[in-house]
Structure 1
Amino acid sequence: MPTAGDADLDMPALALLWAARETGLLAALVDEPGGVREAADSAGITERSARIVVDALVDLDFLRRVDDGIEPANRALGLLATRDLRSVGAVPATLDRFDAYAELPRTMESGVPPVDPDERVRHRLGAAEAVDDASVETTVDAALAANPDAERALVIADGPGRHARALAERGLDVTLLDGPTVIEAVEPLLDPTPVEPRAGSLADVGMTFDLVLTVDSAWRQPAEENRFTVLAAANVLAPGGAIVLAEPLRDRSAAAVEVAAAALATGSGEPYPESTVREWFADAGLARIEASDVPETPYQAVVGRRRGD
């Protein structure tokens, strides 16, 4: 997913930052008085290791030196607190992904990815909140092109609701649907907006919509779950309404390899080819199915429409 700001760390920088987090060195530097030696003792690592990592993180502007020791710089704030999703940024989720890649051989053996604790869910939501504005706007443009006259929209699994909020700013009546844990986490972001958050499933929605949008989520789920989601979404479409699935397709997206690795390490899905997504739409009875690239994003927008009654 395209993100703004801090995610562009190279592999050595990620490895050092990840090691500092996983060993407890970062927490020791922040939570306890003293310098590098005291932090090394607290984290149970060698003083040499702590010194090298601290020097690197100072150079990367995650830490800064003060008279009596080391303290976090502004760039590190998202690593230390996740209460406000707007301050988390992309780095914590990037480190979580690095950790998942390190576990990939064991995940491939078991077929079961590690379970994310609540903190990592908030990291993922913080990264989604940090998606660059241009990507959000072009994705919403692609959705509205499917039904320019839409008045009521349902956005599924949009995390903190960046696309839902953008649709509301365009004048649509928008409902955001996700699981209870996510909705509870993102409600403070949605309270000042007209977006209506709703926890539950599509079967609980109880109304119809002119536009249903889901972004960057199908690859996280197995094919049969996506097939069911498209069918359920088709059932809440008003006559003439459209479903838009914005997704990095395996046979069209430049991000397909990255998505394949992420899907294997963290979820139960995979990047799907255009033909598979078209099949989901056709099986749901949708018509005028088409796919197009979403400019300046790794996504393709697959569109299907309900025939007018």
Structure 2
Amino acid sequence: MPTTGDSDLETAELALLWAARETGLLEALLRETGSPNEAAAVSGVTERAARVTIDALVDLGFFERVEDGVEPTNRVLGLLATRDVRSIGQVPSALDQFDAFAALPTAMRRDNPERQPRSRTVQRTRHQLGASEAVDDATVRATVDAIHAANPDAERVLALADGPGRHARELADRGPAVTLLEGSAVGDVVEPLLAGGDVSLQTGCLPDLESGSHDLIFLVDGLWQSAAGENRFTLRAVERVLAPGGAFVAVEPLRDHSDTAAAVAATALATGRGEPYTEATVAGWCVAAGLDDVSTSDVRDTPYQAVAAERHAD
């Protein structure tokens, strides 16, 4: 929140690192050789390209000079370590996003995202989870403040598609019993991260949950990644799973409120089926699903908004 592709790299720096990854130059430097000439030969780039790129990557702190060439620093570990999402950081996801933006003209001519090989999908999922895990603590706290305010007395909380569970864990630290609902592919990756903690992981689908089983349900960065029909379906399921008097909160970059909406629109076109929606659109879905008392507030020190709605007490 927001996590897709965030890093401290400028666009040109990100483009250079992406090109090094796509040509195989980065792989050669990380796994085969630290010599610019040898890396050029392995990857097929020119010696000039290898030399200039390596100099830049040294300047950026991804590599350091040694007697025979260069060797990776801790900053580049996220490009190597993908098993533990805590080690990945935000750069790999930023590179994936840059790759998607490069293919944006093609994506704009398709009704649905291009189907990717399973290995690439798995890798990108891990990268995105790593970026979510690396969101700064202040942003996570501000987001959870907005979520918790919708029902401060909630005892049973459901986090929808919260990935590694940064928001779920923060909320659990405040007292409620929190369940993270994820798909099996993501659940398998984050289960070790949540083991022994206060958040219960459940894999499956929202409509399969018990009616009236939760006092507070939240979704961060979820609606804009999905088509309108999917969101209407999700909110109908939310209304059924909420206990009477319970609340739902969607934390989103609303198109008519957020200064990051244009960037989110580009990301949605490049990678998914959704788009940034207006406050009225999201509120309309809530009301149509049987929720009421819809309100919107800014999430402190972020470009996001929290849309909260309640289920009538029986």
Query: What is the TM-score of this pair, normalised by structure 2?
Result: 0.95
Work out which of the residue numbers 179, 185, 189 in structure 2 matches 1:185: 189
Q: Match of 1:276, SS?
A: helix
Task: Render the CA deviation track for 1:25-72: whole Å, top value 9, x for unaligned.
Answer: 111112113511111111011111100100000000011111122211
CA contact (8 A) 2:217 2:238 kept: yes
Hey, what does 2:19 align to over in structure 1?
A: 19
Name 2:168's counterpart in structure 1.
164
Overall identity of the aligned pairs, in %: 59
Cα deviation, 1:3-22, whole Å, max 9, x if unaligned, reads 6xx81211111111001111
Displacement of 1:113: 2.5
Shift of 1:2: 4.2
Deviation at 1:112, TM superposition (A): 3.0
Give secondary structure in 2 for the equivalent of 1:110.
Answer: coil
Q: Which residue of 2 aligns with 1:51?
A: 51
- Write out per-residue CA displacement over residues 188-219 of structure 1, whole angstroms, 9 at most, x where no aligned residue: 11002121111110122225100000001111
Please point out which of 199, 222, 240 is paired with 1:195.
199
- The residue identity in structure 2 corresponding to 1:75 is R
How far apart are the structure 1 equivalents of 2:80 and 2:20? Answer: 12
String of CA shifts for 1:106-131, please: whole Å, max 9, x gaps. 11112332435200110000000011
Structure 1: give runs of 5+ residues left out of the alignment: none
Letter in 1 for 2:187: I
Write out aligned runs for 1:141-156 (5 A): 141-156=145-160
- Do structure 1's residue 113 and structure 2's residue 113 form an aligned pair? yes
SS at match of 2:275: coil
**Aligned ranges for residues 51-70 of structure 1 at < 5 Å?**
51-70=51-70
- Matched residue, 1:250: 255
- Amino acid across the alignment from 1:86: R
Aligned to 1:36: 36
Determine the C-alpha separation between the residues in 2 that align with 1:122 and 1:263.
19
Q: Deviations over 1:263-289 (max 9, x none)?
A: 000000000000110011001111111
- Residue pair 1:2, 1:132 contacting (<8 A) in 2 also: no
Residue 227 (1) aligns with residue 250 (2): no
Q: SS at 2:54's partner residue?
A: helix
Distance in 2 of aligned mates of 1:104 and 1:113:
10
2:267 matched to 1:267?
A: no
**Pairing of 1:84-123 with structure 2 (within 5 A):** 84-114=84-114, 115=116, 117-123=121-127
- Contact 2:2–2:221 (Cα < 8 Å) also in 1: no
Q: How does 1:290-301 map to 2 (within 5 A)?
A: 290-301=295-306
Amino acid at match of 2:14: L
Instruction: Look up the SS of the partner of 2:108 in the other structure.
Output: helix
Contact 1:289–1:303 (8 Å) recurs in 2: yes
2:109 maps to amino acid: E
**Is 2:290 the partner of 1:304?**
no
Secondary structure of 1:206's counterpart equals coil
Q: Runs (4+) of structure 1 moved beyond 6 Å?
A: none
d(CA) in 1 for partners of 2:148, 2:30: 46
Please name the residue that 1:214 is paired with: 219
CA change 1:204–1:50 in 2 (3 A) is same
Structure 1 residue 87 displacement after superposition = 1.0
For residues 86 and 192 of structure 1, the distance between their equivalents in structure 2, rounded to whole angstroms, comes to 16
Structure 2: gaps spanning 5 or more residues: none
Q: For residues 19 and 213 of structure 1, what CA distance do their matches in structure 2 show?
A: 38
Match of 1:287 in 2: 292
Tell me if the contact between 2:34 and 2:71 (Cα under 8 Å) persists in the aligned partners.
Answer: no
Partner Cα distance (2:184, 2:148) in 1: 27
- The equivalent residue for 2:141 is 137
- RMSD of aligned Cα (Å): 1.4
Would you say 1:79 and 2:79 are equivalent positions? yes
Number of residues of Structure 1 aligned to a counterpart in Structure 2: 308
Deviations 1:207-244 (A, max 9, x none): 51000000011111001101110110110111110000
